[in-house]
Amino acid sequence: MSQKKPLYLAEANVLWIIIAVIVAIDAIWLPLSGITITLGPAFLIGLTTLAALHLVYTRARPHKRIAAFALTSLQLVVFTVAGTFLVYLTVTSKFPLIDRYLVAADAVMGFHWLPFFNWVKDHPAADRAFGIAYDSAIFQIFVLLIVLNATGRLERAREFTWVFILTLLACVILAWLFPAESAWVYFGATDRVDAYHVADFTALRAGKMTEIILTKTNGLITFPSFHAALGLILIIASRRTFLFSVFLPLNLMMIVSAITSGGHYLVDIIAGLALVPIAILMWWKLKRMEASQ
C-alpha cells in the first residue's frame, strides 16, 4: 500500500512547475529584448545554501520543520527573483499608461491623492510611521515563517507561500497589461520622496536599459499594489497565532502606507486587496483536489 505524501511536499512540486514556467518565460524573453541580467555571486551562494539545507534535512538528517522552511524560503526567493525580471521585461511592452483612469477611479470614490499625500508629508511622525510599516514587509515574512515552521504549522506556511506567489503573479500580469507610472509622477511629487522606480521604469519604456542587475532592481508595479495585498496576506497568515495582535495594526498601516510610501493610487490598494481572496480560493481548491486523491 502506498503511503500518502504530506500536503506540503505534494503541492510543492506543482509550485515548482509554476516557478519553472516563469523562469522559462524570462529565459525566452530576455534574449529577444536584448537585455542581459546579472545575478551576482551572493545570490548564487545564498540559493545554494538554502538548497543544501533542504537536502540535508530531507535526506541525511530528516527534520520536517527545517526542511519545510528551507523549501518555502527557496521557492519564495526563486519566484520573487524570476518575477522581478519578468516585471522588468513586461515594462518594455510599452502598453499605454493608465494613470489618468486610476486618478478618475479614485475621484469617483471621493479620494483625492495629493491632499492626502501632502497631509502625511506635513506630519513627519505619521510619514515616518508609514515608512517603517511599508519597509517592514520582508522582516514580517521572516518572523512569520520562523514562527509557523517552529510551531509545526507547516500547512499554514505553505498556504502563505501559495497565496503570496499567486497574488504576485496576478499583479505582474495586470501591471503588464495596465501599466502606470505611479501617483508620485502623475502629481509631480517626486521631489518629496525617493521615487526609486522612476529611472528604471522610464529607461525600460524608452528602450534604453541594456542590463538588469539583481541587487539594484526595484519594484515597478503600480496597479495593483502588491504591498497592500501582502499586508492582507500577512494578517490572514498570522491568524490564531500570538503574532496576530501585532500583525493586524502593523499591516493595516502598511496597506495605507502604500499610498504615500509606495506612490500608489487608492484603486491600486483596492485591486491588490481584491486579489487575495481569489488566491486563497485557489489554494483551498488545490487542497480539496489533494484530499480527494
Partner 1 sequence: MRRLLNHLTGRGALRDAEMAIVLVVVGAVFVWLMKSP
> Of 8, 11, 69, 250, which lies in the binding site for partner 1, with binding defined by CB under 8 A?
69
For partner 1, the closer of residues 9 and 143 by Cβ is 143
Residue 76 as a binder of partner 1 (CB under 8 A): the answer is yes
All cell numbers assigned to 160: 502563505
178 contacts 99 by C-beta, under 8 angstroms: no
Least distance to partner 1 from the beta carbon of 3, Å?
A: 24
Of the listed pieces 22-30, 60-68, 107-115, 278-286, which binds partner 1 according to CB under 8 A? Answer: 60-68
CA 171 to chain centre: 8
> Of 23, 37, 66, 129, which lies in the binding site for partner 1, with binding defined by CB under 8 A?
66
| Residues 6+ away with beta carbon under 8 Å from 57 | 63, 66, 67, 70
189 contacts 114 by C-beta, under 8 angstroms: yes
CA 36 to chain centre: 23
Instruction: Write the burial class of residue 293 (CB in 10 Å: 0-12 exposed, 13-18 middle, 19+ buried).
Output: exposed
Phi-psi sector, 94: left (phi>0), alpha (psi -120 to 50), beta = left
Candidates 211, 203, 179; CA nearest to 30 is 211
For partner 1, the closer of residues 121 and 219 by Cβ is 219
Residue 42 as a binder of partner 1 (CB under 8 A): the answer is yes
What DSSP line would sit under 22-57, residue for residue? HHHHHHHHHHHHT-EEE--HHHHHHHHHHHHHHHII
Residues between 144 and 163 that touch partner 1 (CB under 8 A): 145-146, 149-150
Of the listed pieces 126-134, 139-147, 247-255, 271-279, which binds partner 1 according to CB under 8 A? Answer: 139-147
Residues between 78 and 137 that touch partner 1 (CB under 8 A): 80-81, 84
Residue 50 as a binder of partner 1 (CB under 8 A): the answer is yes
Least distance to partner 1 from the beta carbon of 50, Å?
A: 6
Summarize as ranges the residues that interact with partner 1 (CB under 8 A). Answer: 40, 42-43, 46-47, 49-50, 53, 57, 63, 65-66, 69-70, 73, 76-77, 80-81, 84, 138-139, 141-142, 145-146, 149-150, 214-215, 217
